[in-house]
Structure 1
C-alpha cells in the first residue's frame, strides 16, 4: 500500500486552479494528507494545461524531475490530469513508469476514487479520458480546510467556438452548461461558510445555457440570481467571448453593485483581417461598441484582455493595429503570448508562419507598453481609499510562494503574477506589526501593515493607498474591519 501523502502542481487557467482546490479537499475527506515539502509526498498530481506550448513542455520536464527526485522509491504514484492528459492520454504510461493515472477534464470527478484504489492496488494503471454527455458534477465537501475569502465556481465545461488557434474544444470537449440549481447551491454554501468574493468560471460564460444541456437560464439571469446570494460582497466572471456578450449582461454592471467593475474581454488582435483568420466572429467595430456600452453602464470599469502576437500571416501593420487598439481602449492588464501551433487546430495548417524572432520583437514591444500603462493605472490609485478584502498574511511572513499559473487572469502573463510574488516577498512588517495582503474590487493586490495579532482573514477594511509598485499597491487601514 502506498502512503497517502500527496502534492498537487497546477498549470494554466483559473479553472485548473479551482479544479485542484476541489481535488485537494476531496482527498482530505478520503484520509489523504498534504505533504509540507514535495519530496515527502508519495502521490504526485499534475493538473496540466496545453493551451500553449510552454506549459505542455513544463509537464514533461516536471515528470522527469519527479522521477529523478524519487529514484529508487517504489511507493511513488504519479497522476496527470487536465488538458495535456486529455491530449496525450495513455501515452504517459509508455514514457513514465511512475504515471499510473491519467484523467481528462471530465474524468476529474472520478479521480479521488481512482487514487483511493491505486494506493491499494499498486500494480494497477487507470485512464479516465472519456467525455461525458452531461456536465460532470463533483461532490462538494467543505467540511475540512480553511474557507477562502475569495473562491471560484464552475458554471460550464468545454467550448463550441473552435477558434483557429485553440485546442480547448479538443481537450475539454463541447460546451456543457451546469444546472442553475447546482450553481446557486454551491454559491450559497460557500457564502454561508464565509466566502465573500466569488468568480464564475467557464470557457465562454456568455454562452451559458445556450447549449443542449442548458436549463433555460441565460447568463444574465444567472448573474442576477448569484448576485442575490446572501453575504456575497463581490461577484466576478471569466472568460467572456465578445461575440456572445448580451446587452443584459452589460446592463448588470450598472444595476448590481456587487458585480466588480473589472472585466476580462479577450481581444486577441486589433486587426480585422487577423480576427477573421482566427475565426473570432467579431470585428474591431463590434469590439469597440461593446467597450463603449460597458463604460457607459459602469464608468469606473477596468478592462483586461488576451493578446496573441504573431498569428500566421500577421504583418507589421496588423501588429500596429493591435498596439493602437490597446492604447485606445486602455487595458489595465493583458495576457500576451506568442502564437504557437497546437495539434489538430486549423491554424496549425496555415501557411505564412511568423518567425520566432519577429514574434518575440513584437511581443516585447507590446509588453513594454502594457507594463508602462499598468504602472500608470496603479499610480492613479495613490491617495484613494478602497475597500480591501484580505486573503491572508503576506507571503514573506508565511514563507509561502504561489505555484505558477501562467494563464491566470490576475496579471500580465509571464510578468505580473511573478511580480506579485516578488513584491509580496519584499513586504516588511513594522516592529510589532504584521503585513496582510488582499485585493480591492478591481482584483489589484494590496499590502497593508496592521498591528500584530489582528486576524484579518476574510475580513474587509477601508484602506488609503500610499504607494504603487510595479504590480501591486501598499496602503494603510483607515477604519474598522467588517
Structure 2
C-alpha cells in the first residue's frame, strides 16, 4: 500500500513521522506523493487553535479528493488525535485509526491490520507509565545527513496556557542505552547531525521513568558516538537549564552554537501568571552565561502576546527584552484559550484587535532582528552541512542548500557533477537574503 505522511506543528511530530515512515517501509508499505497514496497519515498539533482548524480542513480536502477510492483511509496521530479521540470517526468517515504519542509504537502493526481488514477501526489512545520504545527498523539505503531522536515524551510543567501535559501525558524519559543505540544506528547509515527532541529536554532523566542520567551526561555520550559531527536539541525550558548544560556549549565541539530558549513574555507579572518559574532577570542571567560559554551562540525564542491580563506596559516590556537580548529570530503567537488549561479561566481576556496589533508590532521587530542577524554573517567563513539541492540555481551549475552551525540556511553553488549531500563545505558568506544566506565554497571538510 502506498502512503503519505503529513506532519503539522512541532519537530516532535516531524521526528515521529520520520520513524513511522521507516517502520512502514520495513513492513512493505511504499512512500508516495499525496496524489498517488491510499493511506494518509496526519501528525497533528493542538497547541494553538489554528492547527486544529487546519486538521479539519485537511481531512475534508482528503475526503473530497480520495473518498471515492474504497481502499483509501486516514490515520490521525499526535495531539489532536489524543484530544478528540474517536469523535474524529464520526465527523470524518475516512479516519480509521487515531493514535496518541504513547500509541505511536503500535501504529505500524495497526495500519498493517487496517490495510487487510477494510471494515475495521482502531484507536491507540492510552497513556503509558514509561516511554514506549519503538522498533528500530532501518532501511538498507543511506539516510539523510540529519535526523531527529526522541529522548522523552510528555511534560510535567503545566504552564497555565499549555495543553501539552493533557495530550502528551506526563514526562517519561528514555534510558540512555536506548538513545545511544538509536544514535549509533543513525550514524552507521550516514547521519552526521542529530537533534535530540523532548518537550523539556533539560529535565531529561529526572522523572520516575528515567534512569537518572542527566541531560548534560546524555550530551557527553551522544557527542562520543563515532560519525556524529553535530548535535542540536529542542525544546529547553529556562527554569531547568542547568549550568552543567550551559558548560557543554564550551566543552563539546559537536554541540552546535544554537539554542531555542522560549521566554514567552518580558513581563514578570505575565510570567508569574503563566507559571513559568522564572522572571526576566533570571532569563537574562541565562543569556549572559550562554554567551560567556559560547560567544557566537545563536539564540531564538517563542513569545506569546495577549495573555489574559497583559497590559500595554507588559507588552512594551516584551519588546524591550527582545531588543535587550538581541535574539537571532523568534516565533510569536497570539494567545488563545486551550481546553482544560488554567489560563482558560483567567480574566481579563484581551480583545482580538489589541492582540492582532501587538502581534504585528512584535513580528516587525523580530523581522528586524532576523535581518540584522543574517547581515552580520556576511564576510564570515563558516562550515555548512549540505542537506539537499537548492531551488536557487547558481551561475556556474547546481546550487546546494545546507545549514551553518547556528542553524541558518546557506545556499552554495558547487562546481562539478555528483551528489554532495552529507558533506561539510567551508563557505564564505557573501550575501544575506530575507530568510537565508548565499555562500561561496572555499573547500570541503569531509
Q: Same fold (TM over 0.5)?
A: yes
Matched, 1:477 2:435: no
8 Å contact 2:428–2:439 — kept in the other structure? yes
What is the aligned counterpart of 2:181 among 154, 165, 185?
A: 185
Count residues with an aligned counterpart: 446
User: 1:439 matched to which residue of 2?
Assistant: 403
CA distance in 1: counterparts of 2:120 and 2:375, whole angstroms: 56
1:426-456 per-position Cα deviation (integer Å, ceiling 9, x unaligned): x12325x101100000110000011241321
Which structure 2 residue ranges, 5 or more long, are not aligned? Answer: none
Matched with 1:402 is none
Q: What is residue 419 of structure 2 aligned with on the other side? A: 455
Q: Counterpart in 2 of 1:5?
A: 2
| 8 Å contact from structure 1 (residues 156, 177) kept in 2 | yes
Given that residues 25 and 145 in structure 1 are in contact (C-alpha distance below 8 angstroms), is that contact kept between their aligned partners in structure 2? no
CA distance in 1, matches of 2:156, 2:423: 39
Q: Counterparts of 1:196-215 in structure 2 under 5 Å?
A: 196-215=192-211
Look up the match of 1:32: 29
Measure how far apart 1:191 and its partner are.
1.5
Equivalent residue number for residue 357 of structure 1: 353
Q: State the 4+ residue runs in structure 1 displaced beyond 6 angstroms.
A: none
Residue 107 of structure 1 aligns to a residue whose secondary structure is helix
Q: Aligned to 1:479, what secondary structure does the other structure show?
A: strand
RMSD: 1.0
Equivalent positions of 1:55-70 (< 5 A) are 55-70=51-66
SS for the counterpart of 1:153 is: strand
Output the CA distance in 2 between the equivalents of 1:146 and 1:204. 30
**Compared CA separation, residues 194 and 459, structure 1 to 2 (3 A):** same
Partner of 1:134: 130
How far apart are 1:121 and its partner, in Å? Answer: 0.5
What SS does the corresponding residue of 1:64 show, helix, strand or coil? Answer: helix
Pick from 414, 429, 432: which aligns with 2:394? 429
Deviations 1:400-426 (A, max 9, x none): xxxxxxxxxxxxxxxxxxxxxxxxxxx
> Equivalent residue for 2:430?
466
Secondary structure, in 3 states, of the residue corresponding to 2:155? coil
Q: 1:170 pairs with 135, 145, 166, which one?
A: 166
Q: Can you list the C-alpha shifts for 1:228-251, whole angstroms capped at 9, x where unaligned?
A: 111211111111111111111111
Task: Measure the CA separation in 2 of the matches of 1:145 and 1:35.
Answer: 17
- The separation in 1 between residues aligned to 2:371 and 2:339, in whole angstroms, is 37
TM-score, normalised to structure 2, is 0.98
**1:267-306 matches, cutoff 5 A:** 267-306=263-302
Q: Which residue of 1 aligns with 2:389?
A: 393
Whole-angstrom CA distance in 2 between matches of 1:311 and 1:32: 45
TM-superposed CA distance for 1:192, in Å, is: 2.1
**Structure 1, gaps ≥5 residues long:** 397-426
- Higher RCO (CA-CA < 8 Å; seq separation 6+): 1
1:338 aligns with 2:303: no
Residue equivalent to 1:222: 218
Moved more, 300-309 or 140-149: 140-149
TM-score, normalisation: structure 1: 0.91
Given that 1:86 and 1:103 are in contact with CA atoms closer than 8 Å, whether structure 2 keeps it comes out as yes
Q: Could you tell me which of 97, 101, 107 is aligned with 2:103?
A: 107
Question: Aligned equivalents of 1:178 and 1:45: distance in 2?
Answer: 25
